[in-house]
Each structure stands twice: as C-alpha cells, then as structure tokens.
Amino acid sequence: MSAVAPGAWLGLMGGGQLGRMFSMAAQSMGFKVLVVDPAAGGPAASVADDHVQADYLDDGALAELSRRCAAVTTEFENVPADALRRLAADCVVSPGHDSVAVAQDRIREKHFLVSAGLGTAPFAVIEREDDLDRVDATLFPAILKSARLGYDGKGQASVGDAAAAREAFARLGGRPCVLEKRLELDIEVSVVVARGFDGSVVTFPVAENRHSGGILDVSIVPARIPDEVASAARSAALRVAERLEYVGVLCVEFFLLRDGRLLANEIAPRPHNSGHYTIDACLSSQFEQQTRIMCRLPLGSTDLHCPAVMVNLLGDLWQAGEPDWTAVLRHPRAKLHLYGKQHARPGRKMGHFTVLGVSAREALAVAEQIRADLQAGARRAA
C-alpha cells in the first residue's frame, strides 16, 4: 500500500476529545478530517473540516466515509466493530474490527490476555446469576464489571461476597460480567503502543496513573518504577499489539502489586487519556502517530523531551462558572488543553493540563499546586 499524501481526507468515527486532538494533529500535517458522530457540535466536530451527524451504523454515513476518505479510524472503544467491518470492505480502516471486538468485551479481553501469556487478576465469568453459585469464595472481595460498555468506573460495583455480587448483578441489568478479585496495588501504570500496517512498532514511556472515583486523575511520566518493571510493561504491551495484529494506537493498562507482580488490566483500542502527556512532552504525540499509521507513513520518535505530569480537569471545577485559568498559565512550563465542551457536569472530562519539569517530582509538585489553586478558586467563586 502506498502512502497517503497531505490534502487527503481522513475519516473519524466518534466526536469526543480524543477525536478533537486527532483532528488537530492530522490537520497540522496537511490532512482534512471528516467526523461521523450522532451528536451535534461535539469536541471533534467543532474543529474537524466536516461533520456527518449520524449513527455509527448508518448506511449513508458509512458510504460517505468510504467514498470520501483515504482511511478511517476511531476515537473511542465503543464504536460498533460491525461498522469497522463494513467500512473495511471499501477503504482502509485502522484499527481493524477483529482487534476492536476483543477490547470491547471484557470476557474476550480477559481470555485473550491469558492466552497471550500475560498475568491478570483472578477472575470469573458471570453470564447468569447462578454462575455466582460456583464462584470460589477466595475471589472476594471483588469488583463486578459489565462485559460491555463500561469505562471511567461506569458499569462496575465493589462487592464483598456472593450475596452482594447478586445484588450488583441485578443492578447492572443481569448482563454478562467479569467478577475480578480486588488486589492490593502498589501503583497502576500504562503503556501506549503505535503499530503500523508494516508491523513497525514503538512504545511511549510508561505512565504512572492515579485514579479518583474510577476516573484517571493524574499521569506521571516517566513512571517511578524500577527499569526492569518498565521494560516488562513495554514488552507485554508489544506482545498484546502483535498477538492482536493490531494496526493503530492502543493502550495497555497494568496493575503493579505490592509483591512486585505486574498484571494486565485492560486494553484500550485507541489513543488514551494517560497518553495525553505525549502532546507536549514527546517528539511525536500519540495522535500524530495515529495519523502516520492511517496514512502508511513512517512512525515518529517517542522520545521524551523531559518528565511530565498530566492532570485531568473535570466538570466539578465549573460549578460556579468558568475557572480562572491564570492559575495554570502563570506557570511557564504548564500547558492548558480545553476540549470545547458546552456543558460541564461533575465527573465529565472538560480538559487537562500538563506540567513539564526537570524531574517527575518537580513537575508533580507544580501540578498539585495548580490543582489546589484551581479548587480554591472554585470554592471562592461558589
């Protein structure tokens, strides 16, 4: 396959902030972006060159993508795999529908990770309520996770025993779930991988991630872990990409336990929130890599300019109005990214900021001060 030249149209399924950042990266390289998104005026549509407002399985929208675009990609994991399969009959699609289908279903995902030789937390597949009768009691306390359509802590419930699991299973609609043992974690880390059609592959530096309420809060890069653990995480992420025959950008999340074991948690078949630091801190961002791969161009360097800390900005900060962004911008090594969302609500990702530093420790100290100042300003405004 020959490379796609600047000036061509690239298709994007999904209209959120990941699509917004992809569109900006693609446009900076001379490409035009056509977004398909059911919503009007979303973060991606507001910056893309064109927007088709339609369902992801709409025949007309899929036909228009195939006709106008040299290649099509996705910006969130729940784009129907069938839409990608249908598109692939007429145009270049990355990632492919088979690999996306694995990551969209926690049951398939867990079995894949085990088959690839990666360690995972002990788990049981719960497809019916009576499956809970056969669960080993040592699996509790646990987390019950919907097999499909769960993200940012949604579709999950902490359960202490089988009775609590039955109640949670009913609340989750009685749909297939994974029951996963709750483990004593040291930290969580993630690796973003970029893999081309020709099998060329690179990994970004390992990110150390903190979550709050099931939502990513802070990413620290490079992760403050031993070199051998970082190397093992990158090797495991590469194994996932290669076994999936994945083409595109994906993220593999890991648990690092207090006993030193590294366990695979989830696969995200797209650029990832924990990779947003790459926009400011790496020679090539995860979104530039996504563009390069779609267009069959050589991959860029993932070298880190300097340590960095990324902090998510949630809608909680907007409850008394627009925050005072001087709290961020008075720091000369801080970079602000807002997603252009029209309505803020608690827990909604509205933007992020990244602090660059001489060391991860220095960048984290500045990032925590910025967040404290933003929160104090929100309290005063309220």
Radius of gyration of the chain (CA): 21
Mean pLDDT of 49-65: 97
Q: What is the mean pLDDT of residues 121-130?
A: 95
Looking at the DSSP bridge assignments, the partners of residue 251 are: 192, 268
- Tell me what the mean pLDDT of segment 281-307 comes to: 98
Fold agreement between 9-93 and 122-181: no
Nearest to 296 by CA among 367, 258, 247, 340: 247
| Residue 10: pLDDT over 90 | yes
Question: Which pLDDT score, from 0 to 100, does residue 152 have?
Answer: 54
Report pLDDT for 78. Answer: 83
**Residue 148 contacts by C-beta under 8 Å, 6 or more apart in sequence?**
104, 105, 106, 175, 176
Q: What is the predicted pLDDT for the residue at 213?
A: 87
Q: Which amino acid is residue 103, in one-letter code? A: A
CA 211 to CA 252: how far, in whole Å?
Answer: 16
Residue 105 in this model has a pLDDT that exceeds 90: yes
Mean pLDDT across 305-328: 96
Asked whether the predicted pLDDT for residue 153 surpasses 60, the reply is: no
CATH number for the domain formed by residue range(s) 122-181: 3.30.1490.20
The secondary structure element, H or E, covering residue 228 is helix 227-244
pLDDT of residue 77: 81
Q: In whole angstroms, what separates CA 379 from the centre of its chain?
A: 30
For the chain, the structural domain boundaries read 9-93, 122-181, 185-381
pLDDT of the residue at 228: 97
Across residues 172-200, what is the average pLDDT? 95
19, 12 contact by CB (below 8 A): yes
Containing 367, the helix (H) or strand (E) segment is: helix 360-381
pLDDT tens digit sequence for 164-178? 999 999 999 999 999
User: Helices H, strands E: what count in the chain?
Assistant: 11, 18
Higher pLDDT, 354 or 319: 354
Q: Does domain 9-93 have CATH number 1.20.1260.10?
A: no
Whole-number average pLDDT of the chain: 95
Q: What is the pTM of this model?
A: 0.95
Helix (H, G, I), strand (E, B) or coil at 20: helix
| Predicted confidence (pLDDT) at residue 227 exceeds the cutoff of 60 | yes
- Tell me the per-residue pLDDT of 68-84, one tens digit each, with 9 for 90 and over: 999 999 998 888 889 99
Counting every residue written for the chain, the total comes to 382
Domain 185-381 architecture: 2-Layer Sandwich (3.30)
Average pLDDT for 255-279: 96
pLDDT of residue 214: 86
Q: Please say if the pLDDT value at position 341 is more than 70.
A: yes
Tell me: pLDDT of 150 over 70: no
382 pLDDT tier (thresholds 50, 70, 90): confident
